[in-house]
Amino acid sequence: MKIEEVKKLLEEDMNNVTSLNELNELKNKYLSKTGLITVLNSEIKNVPNEEKKEYGMKVNEVRNLFNEFYETKKAEYEEALLNEKLSKEAIDITLPSKRVKRGSKHPMTRITEQFEDLFVSMGYTVYEGPEIESDENCFQKLNLPKGHPARDAQDTFYLKDEYENFLLRSQTSTAQVRAMEDNKEKGPIRIVCPGKVYRRDEDATHSHQFMQIEGLVIDEGVSMADLKGTLETFCKRILGEKTNVRFRPSFFPFTEPSVEVDVTCFKCGGKGCPLCKQTGWIEVLGAGMVHPNVLEMSGYDSTKYQGFAFGTGMDRFAMFKYGIPDIRTIYGNDIRFIEEFDRKDDE
């Protein structure tokens, strides 16, 4: 074929290309080993010498025509393909997202964390004990031998058969015994133990399962003044600096002397209302100096070491703090109740 013919054919073909595939077919047709332009090129050997230059230039012209067309079209098609792909994969960021359901902490988790944070800031460590306890740890080593009348107030759930000596702990005071026995050097102790306890109780303000936090401090020269200072700080930090704190003599078999701690009513601020039974005060804590018998039973020298202990129901704090009227809702597993605490910022 002559150069002019090839050129004319190429120009026609160029008009008919509609896709990248066709463009590549065209490349084959003109530039493969047997392609029309390749053939023109190889025929240069048959051209007389004096025409070779012009012939070569003309072939080059055709080749350039093709190449230019090829490069522009190729870029065009590739861009179109890319755009198509991009538009197919596009994400519409203006669509509203699916609502992610955020969990919320149970009020008891919140209260427990607040108590722990406070005591850790005062140098205590958190010490946890099991809910299934031996009669010894729950009562005997706390100066409540079998048959002691003070056991009545802490009637609990008992295990049977070979576990007869075991029960569900009725107080976190079991942690006092465990912490003292764990301390092999019989040295100073400063712990808080939050956790579930069990009793045979059930009404609007008592549940068969509730939560206490126990504190125990043992060291040389610990006095009632330390106990008072610590508990006053504790009550004010948790319930507000305006809270007044009052100590009343009381009785616990494992502390001597023992006190009960009252705070000004959260609701009326001390004026008197149905919540505080018009007294202006609400009882929140039991506490006292660790009884020498208790120290001795767990291997401490009571002439060298003194200690104080306290225990309080965290549920009551949660009820007061969050205005929960019935303790049973705390343990009712009703998600609607727990959701009410979503995003409540009290930390």
Q: Is 293 helix (H, G, I), strand (E, B) or coil?
A: helix
Which of 195, 270, 286, 307 touches ligand PHE by CB under 6 A? 286
d(CA 191, CA 176): 9
- To the nearest whole angstrom, how small is the minimum distance from the Cβ of residue 182 to ligand PHE? 18
Which helix (H) or strand (E) element contains residue 306?
strand 306-313
CA angle 138, 215, 204 (to 5 degrees): 70
In whole angstroms, how close is the CB of 233 to ligand PHE at the nearest point? 17
d(CA 225, CA 222): 8
Does position 173 interact with ligand PHE (CB under 6 A)? The reply is: yes
Using the minimum distance from each CB to ligand PHE, give the nearer residue, 13 or 260: 260
On the 0-12 / 13-18 / 19+ scale of CB atoms within 10 A, 306 is buried
Closest CB to ligand PHE among 7 and 190? 190
Q: Which is nearer to ligand PHE, 31 or 224 (CB)?
A: 224
| Interface of this chain with ligand PHE, residues 247 to 266, rule: CB under 6 A | 252, 255
Nearer to ligand PHE, 114 or 156 (CB): 156
Nearest alpha carbon to residue 213 among 175, 249, 178 = 175
Residue 58 token pair: 């003309």
| Positive/negative CA dihedral, 172, 174, 176, 181 | negative
- Using the minimum distance from each CB to ligand PHE, give the nearer residue, 107 or 311: 311
Q: Which two tokens stand for residue 191?
A: 């712990």
CB of 171 to ligand PHE, least distance (A): 4
- 288-317 residues near ligand PHE, rule: CB under 6 A: 288, 309-311
The full 3-state SS of 35-101, as one line of letters, equals CHHHHHHHHHHHCCHHHHHHHHHHHHHHHHHHHHHHHHHHHHHHHHHHHHHHHHHCCCCCCCCCCCC
Site string for ligand PHE, 189-228 (x = CB under 6 A): -------------------------x--------------
**Residue 289 φ/ψ, nearest 5 degrees:** -85, 135
CA 286 to chain centre: 32
The residue number with the shortest CB distance to ligand PHE is: 311
Q: Which is nearer to ligand PHE, 163 or 251 (CB)?
A: 251
- What is the nearest approach in angstroms of ligand PHE to the Cβ of residue 159? 20
Q: Which residue lies nearer to ligand PHE by CB, 73 or 178?
A: 178
9-17, 69-77, 160-168, 286-294 -> range binding ligand PHE (CB under 6 A): 286-294
Q: Which of 287, 294, 314, 318 binds ligand PHE (CB under 6 A)?
A: 287
Return the number of the residue (62 or 191) whose C-beta is nearest ligand PHE: 191
Which residue ranges make up the site for ligand PHE (CB under 6 A)?
171, 173, 214, 252, 255, 286-288, 309-311
